[in-house]
Structure 1
Amino acid sequence: MLDFTFLPLWTLTICLSTAVWTPLKGQPRVIGSLQPIIAAPGDDVILPCHLDPAYNVEDLTVEWSKPDLKPDPSDRLSRVDYVHVYRDGRENLDMKLQSYFGRTMLFTDKLKRGNISLKITNVTPADGGRYKCFIPKLNSQVKESIILLIVDPNFVKSS
């Protein structure tokens, strides 16, 4: 006769080992705009970036950077700073690029739903380029997205 005393423990072990080795379905992914964002100098723009499925990132770090900026090779202590960093529930100004001071913001009331879009006010031609939205500690294989901003002096917004 078979002894089924250990059946619940064996079943639990199988379930747990399967959960550890199986990739999580519905894992949040960082998604940005596939189309470039085009603006005229002086415009305010929103660089769209969000998590799909929606995921609360209020307690995570959100970094916005310009990945094409490189540190000054002649300055050993130079570093590449950020366009915007949200950490510990607020904006962190310590590593922010000077040219973005007072011009960037996240929609903090929407972080709970995974909206990590960045608003930049009064864009200049120097703001053009690639931007990376990145959540370093997101439990996901897709933690970042690249968004292209084109600042075109000939661009006229249609209403």
Structure 2
Amino acid sequence: MIKNTYIMVRSIWASLVCLLMVFIDEVSLQETVEGFIGSSAVLPCHSGNKRLQAITAHWRYKDVKNVYDILDGKGSVKEQDSAFKSRAATFPVEYMKGNFSLSLGNLRQTDAGTYCCFIPDVGHHQCTELQIKERPRGLQEQDKPSSRSNGVEAKAEKIVSLLIPFFSITILSCI
């Protein structure tokens, strides 16, 4: 009886850990990046595929406005919405690594919203929510938080700190 209860508890813990991992994966599908008015922010877009045949990616704001296009490995602003003129750029040396991240400069309050990156060659779609804040008084140019501190790394640290107790309990239940 005790052995069956022990096996059942272990099974429940394993199921909860798996469920938590699925939930975390779903939550991490959309990034949130914070930026300050007048500064810049980098919106992530990684295909995960390092062997792309034709390098084409499209950045859209709220699925309506054209922010930036990458056509056959070259940036294109031909059909760019005027709200993003001279403020949007990508990193061409990173294209071959599957990195199509977008840098948006001179941020305005009206820039807040959802930006999506589409990579048609691999069927990839990644969205980022850009939040715009006023710069706190006393925050100097050199004290600006980097986009990394508000993005993937910060979320990963939070997730890991939440998972450590779960994994510890799971390991202890296996002993």
The unaligned stretches of length 5 or more in structure 2 are 1-27, 147-175
Task: State which of 41, 46, 51 in structure 2 corresponds to 1:50.
Answer: 46
Aligned position for 1:146 = 127
Q: Is 1:92 the counterpart of 2:76 in the alignment?
A: yes
Aligned position for 2:110 = 126
Aligned position for 1:62 = 57
CA contact 1:64–1:84 (8 Å) conserved in 2: yes
Aligned position for 1:24 = none
The 1:145–1:35 alpha-carbon spacing in structure 2 relative to 1, beyond 3 Å, is closer
Q: Distance in 1 between matches of 2:35 and 2:66?
A: 21
Aligned residue pairs total 113
Q: What's the % identity of the aligned pairs? A: 25
TM-score computed with the length of structure 2 as normaliser = 0.57
TM-score computed with the length of structure 1 as normaliser = 0.62
**Aligned partner of residue 123 in structure 1, secondary structure:** coil
Aligned position for 1:103 = 87
Q: Distance in 2 between matches of 1:158 and 1:94?
A: 32
Q: Distance in 1 between matches of 2:120 and 2:102?
A: 17
**Aligned partner of residue 47 in structure 2, secondary structure:** strand
Q: Return the letter of the residue paired with 2:41.
A: V
**Aligned partner of residue 110 in structure 2, secondary structure:** helix
Shift of residue 50, structure 1, vs aligned partner:
0.5
Q: Of the two structures, which has the highest relative contact order with CA contacts closer than 8 Å and spacing of 6 or more?
A: 1
The unaligned stretches of length 5 or more in structure 1 are 1-31, 70-80
* Per-residue Cα deviation, 1:125-150 (whole angstroms, up to 9, x for no partner): 11110000001232x4xx10110000
More helix by percentage: 2
Task: State which of 59, 82, 85 in structure 1 corresponds to 2:66.
Answer: 82
Aligned position for 2:153 = none
CA contact 2:33–2:43 (8 Å) conserved in 1: yes
The 1:137–1:151 alpha-carbon spacing in structure 2 relative to 1, beyond 3 Å, is same
**Coordinate RMSD, CA, aligned:** 2.3
